[in-house]
Amino acid sequence: MSLQPQVKIEVISKYQKQPGDTASPEVQVALISTRLEQLKDHFAKNPKDHHSRRGLLKLVGRRKRLLKYLDRTSHASYKNLISELGIRK
């Protein structure tokens, strides 16, 4: 299950630092968070889908590593991103 192209373009345009930026940690974390929200809805309808649950856990781990990197390199950007996405307390 992937993001629809229109949703992906909206997320990228909101979190990119400069035009054409798709590889910055902020954009990657935002895309992964959007995909995790879709998977959350999927698991509400399909609670026994264990194969997709493994993919969900891999995405959570990737997002965690990206957030850790962002925290080390730019703490202000990290704080701003987690407050916008609402993923941490």
Largest distance between two CA atoms of the chain: 41
pLDDT score for 88 = 78
pTM equals 0.92
Q: Which CATH superfamily is domain 24-85 in?
A: S15/NS1, RNA-binding (1.10.287.10)
pLDDT digits (tens, 9 = 90+) for 6-43: 999 999 999 999 999 999 999 999 999 999 999 999 99
